[in-house]
Amino acid sequence: MSTFSDLGVPPRFAKKLDERGISSPFEIQAATLPDGLAGLDVCGKAPTGSGKTIAFGLVLAVRLRKSKPGHPGGLVLVPTRELAIQVAKEISLLCDGTDLRVAMVYGGAGYGPQVRAVRGASIVVATPGRLEDLIERGDLSLGSVTIAVLDEADRMSDMGFLPAVRRILRDLPKQRQVLLFSATLDGDISQVVKEFQHDPRRHETKSEEAEPDIDHKFWLVNRNDRVEIVAQMANHFERIILFCRTKHGCDRLAKQLGAAGVRSSIIHGNKSQAQREKSLEEFRRGRSNVLVATDVAARGIHIDDVPCVVHFDPPADHKDYIHRSGRTGRAGSKGVVISLVDPSQRRSVSRLARDAGVEPEFVGPELDVSTNESVKVRPGSLGGVLLTVAAG
């Protein structure tokens, strides 16, 4: 078993990690850190929860020096605001004890604080749209960037950000290191690799231990019975995320749950940044144990110990199925993913599940002890079958 020091991480950074209980590198970190720290371009493919943030964050923290105001040396592009916040937080921790400051740049929030933060920052973590705004306004220049990171590149592609990403990367200095991380490296992503990376070292992790440990269940239930079922599940699981197709659907479900006595937090695109953060924080801290979300929340955010994810509405496609499901079973903990499937949706859900690499077996709504015993349930709740609504 290697240590961070063995991989070339200077002792003072390794020590800081150790103090946080992070002492053995995860697989993707062990694979990419030696190349990243040597200044080479790296192309990393790994599933969610595998520790990609530290894999690239350490390269920034170790290799960068304090930069001129408004001319960051490090740039991290991410698809969503939530991820920007999370990644910036992690990199700040990694930079603790250095004179590197980290700024966040994302849409849906005022310019003032971001502009001020960028001036003093050596590393900028940004969503592509707002970053281009700031560059256009002259608030920041990428002319001194020596390390650029693309995190969740596949998601940026799905969200239509690749044209902006390309424009940004094209304007970087020619002498720079590019680190690209993604759950998939096919299609458009392989083009970006070709265009912007120089002889990248490619690392894929697919060993058993890096794969999330997730039990996928498909329950046939009538649409009208779903609220009652998830209300019961909310009492059963310590924490649960419910995915809905639309913002309106989220609001409606939260209201219906409220009427059934279940408190929930909501996160979707119509909420302001402040509201979204408040919801996440409530959920993280356990003030509510139910998070009702649209797909915006499916990517990037990491919440420890979410034992159960429910597809309240089926996802739009197999990619969304994977992204939503990836909110559980993270960092080595076990998770259950439950799809609530109306009989009329059975065929389309089958197809989507297979495309996601899961062979669906449609059963009635029940949780049995054998599959469920290592998943965290709320104290006092039943360990066994507890759902009383009959199958559709």
- Rule CB under 6 A: which residues touch ligand ADP? 22, 24-26, 29, 46, 48-54, 302, 330-331
Question: Quick one: what does residue 50 bind among ligand ADP, Mg ion, none, with the CB cut-off 5 to 8 Å set by partner type?
Answer: ligand ADP
Question: Quick one: what does residue 177 bind among ligand ADP, Mg ion, none, with the CB cut-off 5 to 8 Å set by partner type?
Answer: none
Question: Quick one: what does residue 51 bind among ligand ADP, Mg ion, none, with the CB cut-off 5 to 8 Å set by partner type?
Answer: ligand ADP
Q: What are the residues whose beta carbons fall under 8 Å from the beta carbon of 229, sequence distance 6 or more? A: 219, 221, 340, 365, 387, 389
Residue 4: both structure tokens together: 């961070």
- Give the nearer residue to ligand ADP in terms of CB position, either 56 or 237: 56
- Are 7 and 29 contacting, i.e. CB atoms less than 8 angstroms apart? yes
Closest CA to 117 of 95, 138, 98, 139: 139
- Give the nearer residue to ligand ADP in terms of CB position, either 35 or 151: 151
Question: Quick one: what does residue 44 bind among ligand ADP, Mg ion, none, with the CB cut-off 5 to 8 Å set by partner type?
Answer: none
- Are 75 and 128 contacting, i.e. CB atoms less than 8 angstroms apart? no
Strand partners, 308: 240, 336
Q: What are the residues whose beta carbons fall under 8 Å from the beta carbon of 304, sequence distance 6 or more? A: 330, 331, 333
Residue 361: both structure tokens together: 């077996």
Question: Quick one: what does residue 49 bind among Mg ion, ligand ADP, none, with the CB cut-off 5 to 8 Å set by partner type?
Answer: ligand ADP
Q: Shortest Cβ distance from residue 332 to ligand ADP (Å)?
A: 8
Q: How do beta strands 265-267 and 240-243 pair? A: unpaired
- Give the nearer residue to Mg ion in terms of CB position, either 291 or 301: 301
Question: Quick one: what does residue 57 bind among Mg ion, ligand ADP, none, with the CB cut-off 5 to 8 Å set by partner type?
Answer: none
Question: Quick one: what does residue 200 bind among ligand ADP, Mg ion, none, with the CB cut-off 5 to 8 Å set by partner type?
Answer: none
Q: Shortest Cβ distance from residue 26 to ligand ADP (Å)?
A: 4
- Give the nearer residue to ligand ADP in terms of CB position, either 53 or 288: 53
- Give the nearer residue to ligand ADP in terms of CB position, either 153 or 221: 153
Q: Shortest Cβ distance from residue 284 to ligand ADP (Å)?
A: 12
Helix axis angle for 346-355 and 318-325, nearest 10°, is 70
- Give the nearer residue to Mg ion in terms of CB position, either 16 or 52: 52
Question: Quick one: what does residue 315 bind among Mg ion, ligand ADP, none, with the CB cut-off 5 to 8 Å set by partner type?
Answer: none
Q: Shortest Cβ distance from residue 92 to ligand ADP (Å)?
A: 13
- Give the nearer residue to Mg ion in terms of CB position, either 217 or 276: 276
Which range touches Mg ion (CB under 5 A), out of 46-54, 134-142, 223-231, 233-241?
A: 46-54
Question: Quick one: what does residue 335 bind among Mg ion, ligand ADP, none, with the CB cut-off 5 to 8 Å set by partner type?
Answer: none
- Give the nearer residue to Mg ion in terms of CB position, either 52 or 81: 52
Residue 320: both structure tokens together: 């969304």
Q: Shortest Cβ distance from residue 185 to ligand ADP (Å)?
A: 14
Q: Shortest Cβ distance from residue 83 to ligand ADP (Å)?
A: 9
Which residue has the CB atom at the shortest distance from Mg ion?
52
Q: Shortest Cβ distance from residue 97 to ligand ADP (Å)?
A: 18
Q: Shortest Cβ distance from residue 132 to ligand ADP (Å)?
A: 24
- Give the nearer residue to Mg ion in terms of CB position, either 101 or 155: 155
* Site residues (vs Mg ion, CB under 5 A): 52
